[in-house]
Amino acid sequence: DILLDARGHAGLKARLLEQAHQLQRVQAQGAHPQALAGRREKLLHVLHRTLASHQFDACLAIFLAGMIVIAGIAMFETLRHWKVYDAVTELFRERSFRYENRGGFSRASVSFGTPIALGFAMTLGIGVLLYLRGRLPSRAANSAMLVLCGGLFASVSRGPWVGAVLVVAGFMFLA
């Protein structure tokens, strides 16, 4: 079942099994080694492409889940004016997280160290969500977008805001 494609279709699995059986029949008949190599390459190419696509989507989904958690922490930091990871840096006797304000808002940085880095991470999360949007239930995708936008605005960083607008415009243009 690991050979199913990203949408769970069994058609690709059937083609792979058919190629494998064909390769075994050709080997049993004593075919020329070059003919075997071509069939083996084709089988490995299809197998690699399928697994790589599925694994790539899984990695993006894991990244997206992490960005959603970080976005929630960022909103908490901005609303409560409390740097959550400040206590962790005090354990190592370093104060790398500063309290930054802009326009009366505390700028969240979570574990990224600076609000700009957090904002760009949220922009990447928005791009990943737009890529995976068709594979997620619409309510979950909309909720995730809301949380990621909240994390983006919690950074109070204009550069990542512009980047997010460009990412969304790019997806709209290419769709």
Alpha-carbon distance of 19 to 77, in angstroms, equals 55
For residue 2, CA distances in Å to 8, 9, 134 come to 9, 11, 21
* Mean pLDDT (the chain, rounded): 77
pLDDT tens-digit readout, 20-48: 666 666 656 665 555 545 555 665 566 55
- Give the three-state DSSP class for 93: coil
Q: In this structure, how many other beta carbons lie within 10 angstroms of the beta carbon of residue 9?
A: 10
Alpha-carbon distance of 41 to 23, in angstroms, equals 11
What is the band of 113 on the pLDDT scale with cuts at 50, 70, 90?
Answer: confident
Q: What is the pLDDT of residue 89?
A: 63
Is 98 a residue whose pLDDT tops 70?
A: no
Is 95 a residue whose pLDDT tops 60?
A: no
Burial of 103 (0-12, 13-18, 19+ CB in 10 A): exposed
Opening angle at CA 55, ends 49 and 58, nearest 5: 145
Encoding tokens for residue 87? 């206590």
Q: Between residues 107 and 164, which one has the greater pLDDT? A: 164
Q: What is the pLDDT of residue 4?
A: 46
Q: Between residues 52 and 35, which one has the greater pLDDT? A: 52
Q: Between residues 165 and 10, which one has the greater pLDDT? A: 165
pLDDT tens-digit readout, 77-88: 888 877 777 766
Is 105 a residue whose pLDDT tops 90?
A: no
Place of tokens 């802009």: 102
What is the band of 107 on the pLDDT scale with cuts at 50, 70, 90?
Answer: confident
